[in-house]
Structure 1
Amino acid sequence: MKIMGLDYGDKTIGVAVSDEFGWTAQGLEVIRRTSKAADLARLQNIIQEHGVEEIVVGLPKNMNNTIGPRGELSMEFAEALQTKVKLPVHLWDERLTTVSAERTLLEADVSRKKRRQVIDKIAAAFILQGFLDSNKRR
């Protein structure tokens, strides 16, 4: 069963997809946001292309575990996505995933321009991998 991970942001949506076994997450693409309808349509296409059966949306929490305005927007997006695609959508704590993705890209000596192009899909892969790893332990 394939699972899709999303890093939902103001300007972009990072997309990652798991392998068939749900063991590993791979960054897939970065969607440049244009409109809610267009964003949801693109995600629906990806879901169909990859046979996705579940979705994980990163939930940006504050360091004190509260949910701020950014988290509320992610929750609204997750709800709209679930309504549109009729698949289970899970929210996953994404604290520090972008920081971890940035650090990984810096350690790999990726140029600043290239980092900007891929950081969101790497963050989506970190979100999805965290979810996958958590499910393995259950």
Structure 2
Amino acid sequence: MTTSPQEGLPRGARLAVDVGTVRVGLAVSDPDGLVATPVETIPRVAGSGAVPAGAVPADIARIAQEVVERGVGVVYVGLPKHLSGKESASSAAARGYAGLIAQAVGPVPVHLVDERMSTVSAHQALHASGRAGRKHRSVVDQVAAVVILQSALDVERNRSIRAGERVG
């Protein structure tokens, strides 16, 4: 396997996941980890109680499909924290969701990365682009995933390590 421009890191696309209570935003990078782009927003199913025990929820299955189709080398999941850095109930939910992703994607590493302000940044970017506030809902999770991924890519570039905390 070849290495990426971030010395010592394996080459491969990176996938970011912005976990919401209703929707999940996805963003992906190129194989060299240079640019983050939005992929899609999928309905959140995992954790809703609508999935029989032992079954893979449709949203987790969709994420696993993206990992395979795009040759993803690492999945970054946003970890919401308070501005103080303390974790909340949303943090626990994101940790649980990241665990489900890790089970579904097998050997591909899953990392939790601090996502403080990602949704705020996403709304600001959409507003700056001229998109009406009421139309943000359909894409804000994708844009938040782009913000999460770009932050992780910056860590990779600056420190030559994977960003965040590895799940499992």
Which TM class, normalised by the smaller chain length? over 0.9
Whether 1:114 aligns to 2:135 is yes
C-alpha distance in 1, partners of 2:15/2:61?
Answer: 15
Whether 1:31 aligns to 2:42 is yes
Tell which deviates more after alignment, 10-19 or 76-85: 76-85
Partner of 2:66: 46
The partner residue of 2:81 within 51, 61, 65 is 61
After TM superposition, the runs of 4+ consecutive aligned structure 1 residues lying more than 4 A away are none
More helix by share: 1
Q: CA deviation at 1:111?
A: 1.8
Partner of 1:10: 21
Alignment of 1:80-119 (within 5 A): 80-86=100-106, 87-119=108-140
C-alpha distance in 2, partners of 1:73/1:34?
Answer: 13
Whether 1:78 aligns to 2:87 is no
C-alpha distance in 1, partners of 2:135/2:65?
Answer: 25
C-alpha distance in 2, partners of 1:63/1:112?
Answer: 24
- Greater relative contact order, per chain length (Cα 8 Å cut-off, separation 6+): 1
Aligned residues: CA RMSD: 1.1
C-alpha distance in 1, partners of 2:34/2:127?
Answer: 25
Q: Secondary structure at the match of 2:130?
A: coil
TM-score, normalised via structure 1 length: 0.95
Q: Secondary structure at the match of 1:131?
A: helix
- For structure 1, which runs of at least 5 residues remain unmatched after alignment? none
TM-score, normalised via structure 2 length: 0.79
Query: Is the Cα contact below 8 Å between 2:19 and 2:25 reproduced in 1?
Result: yes
Query: Is the Cα contact below 8 Å between 2:19 and 2:77 reproduced in 1?
Result: yes
Matched residues, percent identical?
Answer: 36
Question: Once the two structures are superposed, what CA deviation does each residue of 1:48-100 show, in whole Å capped at 9, x if it has no partner?
Answer: 22111210000001111111000011011111111121110011100001000
C-alpha distance in 1, partners of 2:88/2:142?
Answer: 23
* Aligned pairs, number: 138
Q: Secondary structure at the match of 2:68?
A: helix
- For structure 2, which runs of at least 5 residues remain unmatched after alignment? 1-11, 48-56, 160-168
